Chain A
Amino acid sequence: GQQLNQSPQSMFIQEGEDVSMNCTSSSIFNTWLWYKQDPGEGPVLLIALYKAGELTSNGRLTAQFGITRKDSFLNISASIPSDVGIYFCAGQLYSNYQLIWGAGTKLIIKP
């Protein structure tokens, strides 16, 4: 079946550092989405990307839709404690409308 490779699996960072994570696939997607999940809650949409090459920002978050349509990255600048959580990428295939989900990147801020 379709798969997304999301990396890294987890990140330990200092407050104030920049963060980068990415997702790759062997399939072409027509949409990339980035969600964040806080403990005990459901995922919340952060950024949606609809065009190859598109670069979109949401506050300190920036995400890009790869030119090949097979990858996407998410950057977080100047991390703060409330950024902790699990970040998921999700892609939507051309062939159908189902979302394919990455395994998540767990962000932990060192005290």
Chain B
Amino acid sequence: DAGVIQSPRHEVTEMGQEVTLRCKPISGHDYLFWYRQTMMRGLELLIYFNNNVPIDDSGMPEDRFSAKMPNASFSTLKIQPSEPRDSAVYFCASSPAESSYNEQFFGPGTRLTVL
């Protein structure tokens, strides 16, 4: 079975550019999470969705960040405009409903570098 798929795996961009990260959750999973990982702050939950609906976006750093889930098999995290401090590894994870999203399955991550 395919796991969580993220693209791109690596992204290098210049400050001020728009960045879009993509995620395909595991089929049948009702919850989708976006995390950011840095050395300084560790794993931070940015936002999560239940059945395509955003439930909690309190972890989104600021208005430059936005996330959408137009359907059950696709989500995007957009940063516009990007800044060097956004450089991090961004993970998408999904979870089946019956586990009450305890057991989150992570994608391989997108390593973002903003110059």
Residues on A lying within 8 angstroms of B by beta carbon are: 31, 33, 40-45, 48, 88, 92, 97-99, 101-104
The 3 A-B residue pairs whose C-beta atoms are closest, nearest first, are: A42-B106, A101-B43, A103-B42
CA distance in complex: A88, B42 (Å): 10
CA distance in complex: A25, B103 (Å): 20
A to B CB contacts below 8 Å, 30 in the list: A31-B102, A33-B102, A40-B108, A41-B106, A42-B4, A42-B91, A42-B93, A42-B106, A42-B107, A42-B108, A42-B109, A43-B43, A43-B91, A43-B106, A44-B106, A45-B104, A45-B105, A48-B102, A48-B103, A88-B43, A92-B102, A97-B101, A98-B45, A98-B48, A98-B56, A99-B101, A99-B102, A99-B104, A103-B42, A104-B42
B100–A97 touching, CB < 8 Å: yes
CA distance in complex: A44, B103 (Å): 9
B36 to chain A, nearest CB (A): 12
Interface size class of B (residues with CB under 8 A): 10 to 19
A-B contacts counted at CB < 8 A amount to 41
B45–A99 touching, CB < 8 Å: yes
Residues on B lying within 8 angstroms of A by beta carbon are: 4, 42-43, 45, 48, 56, 91, 93, 100-109
CA distance in complex: A45, B102 (Å): 10
B104 to chain A, nearest CB (A): 7
A33–B107 touching, CB < 8 Å: no
B3 to chain A, nearest CB (A): 9
Q: Hey, which chain B residues are within 8 Å of A102, CB to CB?
A: 42
Q: Hey, which chain A residues are within 8 Å of B101, CB to CB?
A: 97, 99
B41 to chain A, nearest CB (A): 9
Query: Which chain A residue shows the least CB distance to B105?
Result: A45
B29 to chain A, nearest CB (A): 14
B55 to chain A, nearest CB (A): 9
CA distance in complex: A88, B102 (Å): 14
